Amino acid sequence: MKLRILLPGLVCLFLYSAGLALADNATDTEPQSWRLLADRTAASHDNKYIEAFGNVVLERGADYIRAEYARYYQSTKWVFLRGNVEAKFQGDFLKAEEAEFDLESNTGWLKNGQVFMEDPHMYFEGAVLKKTGPETYEFREATVTVCDGDRPAWSIKTSRGDITVDGYAHLWGPRFQIMDQPLLMAPYAVIPVKTKRQSGFLLPEIGTSDKLGITYDQPYYQVIDEEQDVTLYSHLMTAKGLMLGGEYRLVPDIHTKGIFKFDYLFDQETEGTSLYSDNSQMSRDNHNRWWARGKFDGYLGEPDWNLKLDLDLVSDQDYLREFSHGYSGFSKSRKDFLQYFGRDIEDNDNELRVNRLLLSRNWANVGVQGLVEYTQNLEYGSNSKLSNKDRDDDPTLQRLPELNLNLYQTQLLSTPLTIEGSSQLASFWREYGTTGSRLDVHPIVGLPLHFEYGSVIPKGGLRGTTWFVEKYENEDEDVDTDDSNPSRFLPDFTTSAYTEFSRVFTLTEESDVPSDAGSFTWLKLRHAVQPRLEYTYIPFESQDKYPYFDEDDRIRPTNELTYSLTNLFTTKTGRMQPSPDMQGKSALKVDYLDLARLRLEQSYDIREETRSDDTDEYPNRPFSDVLADLTTSLTPWLYLTNKTWYSPYENHVTEHEHALWAYYEDRVYASFSLDFLEEIDEYLRQEQERQRIAGFGGGFGITREWSAAFLYRVDWESGTDLEKRLALRYDHQCFSTETVWTKTDEDTRFEFRVILAQLGSVGR
C-alpha cells in the first residue's frame, strides 16, 4: 500500500494568500514546492497555525490534496484536513471525511476513509485507517476488495489488520463476502498488496475424478530471496492418499535459470496389471510412487561454457497419465518446461524417460560438446516391470559419457573448397548387452559453385569408425565376430543444386489507392519459384561384423535423387491511416503478408530400382510418394497447414496431416485437424496400419462476459472417442469463473474454478 501522503512539501501551508507559489527562484535540484489554492486563508493571532477555507487545493506536479478545510501547525509539522478530503500521490487515491498527518514522523490517520492503489488494482476502506510508520498502516472494521463500484462483487471484511508497503495485508477475523453477504470466515488471513512475489498460502484446487476420488490440492509459496523461491504442495485424494510435493525455482543471473520438481505419494491402492500401459503383461505393485523432473540452463566457470540439464525419473509407468492434471501434474510441468526452456519432456505414455547433462562451447568455426545421458526404462523398473523380465535383462543403452567435436563449414585455406565435419567419442553401458566405446570421425569437403542463375554445391566425405568392445552379450544381436577393435571406413557424396525465379505483379498503383481513412488495398503480388535438386550416395557395405549400439553403427546404403519445387506468394498491401506528420491527413501504410507456400517433393531411389530381392512379393517401387506441403494465410483470420502424400503406385493418398485455424477478433475461433494413414504393405514400409484421428475445437463469446469452448478428438478408424471437453467461462471486472467437463478413455473429470483478481484461484 502506497499512501505516501506525508510529504515535507506540505509546509508551504504557511502561505498567507491563495494562489501564491513558493520557491520561484529555487534551483532545479530542489524538490518542487506545493502550490496552495483556496477561497480564503487566515493565520492565528500567535502565528502557531495557518487555516485555509473553501475549495482548498494543494498541487505539486501530478499529485494533489483537496478538502473543504485545512489547518497546518508550523511548530509540530502537523496538518489537519476536513470535509470531502481527496488526494492523489504517485498513482494512489485517498478519500476521507477527516484526516490528520504528522509531516516529520510520517504518521497519521483517516476517518471513514478509503485508499485505492492502482498497482495492484485494490481498495482498502475502513472507519479508521492509521499510518503507523513510513511503510506501515493499521486499520479497524475495514473492507478489502479489487472490485469497482459501491457494492463490490466480492470483498473481505475484517475486524482489524495491518499493511506493509510492497508486502502483505494481515487480516484478523476476515469474512469473505459476495455482494456484501458473508460466505466464508477464518480466524486469520494474509493477502499480497503488491505485484511483487510474496510468500504465503495460495488458493487451493478442488475437484472430483473417477480414478482419484475427491481431490484437494493446497499449495504454499515461499520467497527465498530475489533469485529463488519454492512452492510446497499437499494434494489429498480420497482414493489414493496424500501426495506431498515441492517446486524449486532459481534465476541467479541472465545466463542461468532452473526449475526442479518432486512429488511423492504412498498409494493406498496397487494394480495387478497396468491401468494405462499398452503392454498387458506390465504390472504395478508399488505403494511408493514419485516423480522427479527438472531443467537447468547455466554455465560452468564462464558464460561461454553452456550447461544444460534435463531430469525426468518416475516410479512407474502409470504415474504420469494417472496424475496429469493440477498444480504439479504432467501437463503443467510440460507447459512450464516448454515456456521457460524451450525443451520438452517425453510423452506421458513413453516408457523411456531421458535424462541429460550437456556441456558445450562454440567458437567461430569449432564447437565442442560433452554429454552424459541416462535413459530410464520403466519396463525394467523395480516398481513397474514385465512379469517375465528382470532388471538384469535391461538392454537400455546409456551414454556415459559422449564427447563431440564439430568443425563448422569454413573455407579451406585460400582455395575455393570448404571443409566441415564432426567427430564423436562415446562410451556405451547397459545392464545386458554389448558394451564398449566408439570413435567416429567424419570430415567433409565441399566445392560451392555459384552462377548467375543458381548454385551447385557438391560435397564428399569419409566416415571412419573404430569400436572398442568390452564385451559381446546379446543373443538377439546379429554379430558374426568377436573382434574387440573392428574398424569401418565409409565414403559418402552429396550434391545440391537450386535456383529461384520470381515476378512481381502490380494489382493497384499506390497513386490509385482511395484516400478514405481505413481503406484497404492489395498493391502487389510476388510469385517466387524455387526448384531444388539433391543427390545422396552412400555405398553398400556389410556391417554385421560390427557391434550395434545405435543407428550410427548401421549406415544404410543410399543412392537417391530428391527433387522439389517450392512456390512462394507474398503480397504487398496498403491501408490509409491518419498521419500526425501530415496535419491529420491520411497516409498510406504499407505492409507485407506471406500469403502461401506450396512445396512439391518426390524422391527416386536408384537402389530400389535395381533391387532383385523379394521382387515376387514386393515389386520395385523406386518413386516415393509425392509430398504436397501447403501453408497459407488467405486472410489475417484464416490459417491452413496441409501435408499430403500421394502414391504413384497405389494411385491414392497414403497420408494426411491437416490443420485449419480460423478466428475473428476475440469473439470466435475454430480449429480442425486430421491425421490419416492408409494401410500399405510394400518393401520399404511393410504393414503400415490404417489410422484416422480427427480433432475439432472452437470457442465463442456469448456476451461480453460469457464465453464457451469445446474440443472433440476421435479415432475414426476404431470408432473410439479420445477426448471430449466442454468449458463455460464468465469474466467480470474483478473475478472469473470457469466450469470444465472432460472425458477421456482413462478418466472423467469435472472442474470448477473461481479466479479472484489479485488473489489467485480457488476450486478445480
How confident is the prediction for the chain on average, in pLDDT? Answer: 85
Classify residue 438 by burial, with Cβ atoms within 10 Å: 0-12, 13-18, 19+: buried
Beta partners for 576?
588
Topology annotation, domain 8-201 = lipopolysaccharide transport protein A fold (2.60.450)
497: confidence class by pLDDT, cuts 50, 70, 90: very high
Q: Where is pLDDT greater, at 467 or 391? A: 467
Residue 703 phi, psi dihedral angles, 5° rounding: -135, -170
Lowest-pLDDT range of 79-83, 261-265, 405-409, 558-562: 79-83
Average pLDDT of the segment spanning 78-106: 82
Most confident by average pLDDT, 7-21, 203-217, 540-554: 540-554
Determine the pLDDT at residue 515.
73
Q: Copy the grid coordinates of residue 206.
A: 478442488
Q: Residue 665 — left, alpha, or beta (φ > 0 → left; ψ -120 to 50 → alpha)?
A: left
Apex CA 330: angle with CA 669 and CA 247, to 5°?
A: 115
Alpha carbon distance 501, 244 (integer Å): 62
Q: Give CA–CA dist 376/398, Å, rounded.
A: 9
Torsion angles phi and psi, residue 624, rounded to 5: -80, 170
Backbone angles phi, psi at 12, to 5 degrees: -70, 5
* Helix H or strand E encompassing 110: strand 107-117
Of 30-39, 414-423, 544-553, the one with minimum mean pLDDT is 30-39
Q: pLDDT-based confidence at 270, cuts 50/70/90?
A: confident
| Whole-model pTM over 0.85 | no
All structural domains of the chain with their residue ranges: 8-201, 204-354+384-393
Q: d(Cα 127, Cα 97) in Å, to the nearest integer? A: 10
Residue 624 near residue 600, CB atoms below 8 Å: no
Q: Taking residues 282-299, what's their average pLDDT? A: 90
Stronger pLDDT, 758 or 191, i.e. the higher one: 191
Coil, strand or helix at 377: strand
Examine the pLDDT at 104 and tell me if it is beyond 80: no
Under 8 Å between Cβ of 249 and 292: no
What local confidence, expressed as pLDDT, does residue 137 receive?
76
Asked whether the beta carbons of 671 and 663 are under 8 A apart, the reply is no
Asked if pLDDT for residue 65 goes beyond 70, the answer is yes
Q: What is the mean pLDDT of residues 137-161?
A: 87
> What local confidence, expressed as pLDDT, does residue 281 receive?
63
Average pLDDT estimate for 407-414: 94
Q: For 593-614, how does the pLDDT look when each residue is reduced to its tens digit (9 = 90+)?
A: 889 999 999 999 999 999 998 8
Compute the distance between CA of residue 176 and CA of residue 185 in angstroms, rounded to an integer: 6
CA distances from 62 to 59, 65, 72, 88 (A): 7, 10, 22, 8
Dihedral of alpha carbons 335, 336, 342, 348, sign: negative
